[in-house]
Structure 1
Amino acid sequence: MLTRKYLFPGVIELNLQAARPLGVNIYLIDGGTEYALIDIGQDDTLGEVIDLVRGMDFPLSKCKLIIATHADADHVQALAAARVRFKTKAAAHPKAAAALESGDTVQTYASIPAQGFDIPMPPCKIDVLLNDGDEIKVGKVKLTVWSTPGHTPGQLSFKMGNLLFSGDNIYKDACVGVIDAHHGSSIPEYLKSLNRILADDAEYLLPSHGPVFRKDAKILKAAIDRLTGYQYMADFGTCAQSWPLQEAYEKDVLAGKMPEL
């Protein structure tokens, strides 16, 4: 049997357990009599994930739930296959469930034609719809569901004691999950989610990419300040709220004012 590498009591992160990158952080929540998985990754790593779980002496039949933080393919391409292999239920926010059940390759980033990227996105039945304030009981452990949209409309986070599984909301370097119109990103919603995380008493943030870290107001404020500016930048197209430069220029055009050169 593999020695279980607990990151925190009741929490094993499978990249750390495997001592190799699996593409996305996958958290096993050990409730004693049963367990749950937060995200599952892609098809090409599912076999290794299953071997790790079995190797740590967690029977597949004791998996209560596989939870999608959101519908991005790097997090959940293997969800349909894993649901069958573990004989368990899949859970997601209703807005993520729509893309997952239809196998939408655009919203899930499974297909990015302009970059020549295209992978399958098998449709997956979502058995449990998760909304803000719901509680997930896994044996002796309880997770409280947070709806934290911004990166995607269906992004979820999960509070467990002094831990917050924060998805793609914020990383240790103050970066955030991609902001993209095809993704359904919303900068104002992102700011609400980041401010909620900032105001919470969670001591540690467990993101979907990169290292777990102690919550630091400086990191969150750096992201909040940056995204606040993004709302008024052409760089973010329809995800921006306005473009002051263009608005001012249009007023000058209507007034018959020539540019100052």
Structure 2
Amino acid sequence: MYLETLQVGSLLANCYIIGCEKTNKAACIDPGGNPEKILNVIYNKNLTLTHIILTHGHCDHIEGADLLRERTNAPLLIHELDKDMILSPEKNLSIFLGRGFSLKEADIFLKDGDNIYVGELKLEILHTPGHTKGSISIKVEDMLFTGDTLFAGSIGRTDFPGGSYSTLKKSIMEKILPLGDEVKILPGHGLSSTIGEERMTNPFLR
């Protein structure tokens, strides 16, 4: 599997490009800005983008999605409970950064348990609400892309509209930790980790 991590946008969100080495098909997770930077990786690696997946609807994870969709014709996917966030500068919080924007409607609405195939790669969708109502994590082989649900040493904020601390903790305890200590965590911001490391050291999980 091919994996590229880019820090994009003014809030330095992690954007991930994952690709099937046998077919050169790829998915982009959270194109939160700098779409030309993302496209350069896709073109330079000779990848065909087949999916653009948003872990949730906040502005720092979605800003580059429409241009990426326009240039590649790849469909845009988001959980059904966050689908309205990308349509509203107020709901996606971009208006509060002084540069409000919205996206066109997503092409596919996700739900818990969905599987997405990118070449021979299987992407498993876990609904992990708490940061937003429609937050998802995406499991690919021994990796879990957690968006803003779980970070190295921290967890996602729950003080935005749609956030819930108790729901977030439940998502982590019931959906993420049971996946096993060896699973690598690739969060929406900051450094990677493992489930085992977070189980042992993350102060929010004690």
* 1:41 aligned to which of 32, 35, 39: 32
Match of 1:73 in 2: 59
Q: Secondary structure at the match of 1:111?
A: helix
Aligned to 1:169: 149
Match of 1:219 in 2: 201
Change (3 A) 1:179 1:132: same
After TM superposition, the structure 1 = structure 2 runs for residues 104-143 of structure 1, keeping only pairs within 5 Å, are 104-112=88-96, 117-143=97-123
> Structure 1 residue 24: deviation in Å?
1.2
Unaligned runs of 5+ in 1: 1-8, 226-261
CA deviation digits over 1:49-75, x for unaligned, max 9? 2122212222xxx21110001001111
The size of the alignment, in residue pairs, is 200
Q: Give, in angstroms, the shift of residue 123 of structure 1.
A: 2.4
Distance apart, 1:193 and its partner CA? 0.9
Higher gyration radius (CA): 1
1:11 to 3, 7, 15: 3
Which residue of structure 2 lines up, in the alignment, with residue 253 of structure 1?
A: none
Q: Which runs of 5+ in 2 are unaligned?
A: none
* Larger RCO of the pair (alpha carbons < 8 Å, separation 6+): 2
- Match of residue 179, structure 2, among 197, 200, 221: 200
The range that moved more, 126-135 or 197-206, is 197-206
Q: Shift of the alpha carbon at 1:94?
A: 0.6
**CA offset at residue 22 of structure 1?**
8.1
User: What SS is found at the alignment partner of 1:40?
Assistant: coil
- Greater share of residues in strand: 2
How many angstroms apart in 2 are the aligned matches of 1:161 and 1:135? 12
SS in 2 for 1:205: strand
Question: What is the CA RMSD across the aligned residues, in angstroms?
Answer: 2.1
Partner of 1:246: none
User: Normalized against structure 1, the TM-score is what?
Assistant: 0.71
Give CA-to-partner distance per residue, 1:145-195, whole Å, 9 cap, x none: 0000001111110111221111111211x22222224x2101121011110
